[in-house]
Amino acid sequence: MILLGLGSNLSSSKFGTPVEILTQALAEMRLAGVEVAACSPWYRSAPVPTSDQPWFINGVARVETALAPSALLALLHRIEARLGRRRGVRWAARIIDLDLLAYGDLVMPGDSERELVLPHPRASERAFVVLPLNDVAPDWRHPVSGKNAAELWAELDQGQQIERLVP
């Protein structure tokens, strides 16, 4: 099972609101041959780490592709760039953020900031990942801890602010 995290906390004059930007990212994935098998509802969440930037809109998608993990991540970065993402300061406000959360049960520890690490090293610590993950893959198990989304949620710092958007 391949899982992607999607987030946005800035609007774009070309692509619209964060929800519209994330919807466009999903459409671009489909155009590139990535099958979006399921997407969670959108959630509104406070920035992590805490800051004064706008709240994020987040979700998790379950996808299918023949692309290798590094090729999929490269595609996600190209989609981010097309939608206006400019990389700069870490954890800054951004138009789009696409993360490769998990690629099956593959574990890639990586040994530097630039290497792909799987599963995503902070995914299980963040409400904006764990809650929507439970919507699209409740039976998925973290390949290192062996815990499913409900178990990860139960262990999570409940001080993180998150709310499901009503469609």
Say if residues 128 and 48 touch (Cβ distance below 8 Å): yes
In this structure, how many other beta carbons lie within 10 angstroms of the beta carbon of residue 100?
A: 22
Is 135 noted as a catalytic residue in this protein? no
Is 157 noted as a catalytic residue in this protein? no
Is 97 noted as a catalytic residue in this protein? yes
Among residues 87, 99, 122, 164, the one annotated as catalytic is 99
Among residues 62, 85, 105, 141, the one annotated as catalytic is 85
Among residues 44, 62, 94, 126, the one annotated as catalytic is 94
Among residues 44, 62, 97, 126, the one annotated as catalytic is 97
Rounded Cα distance, 130 and 63, in Å: 17
The residues that are catalytic are 85, 94, 97, 99
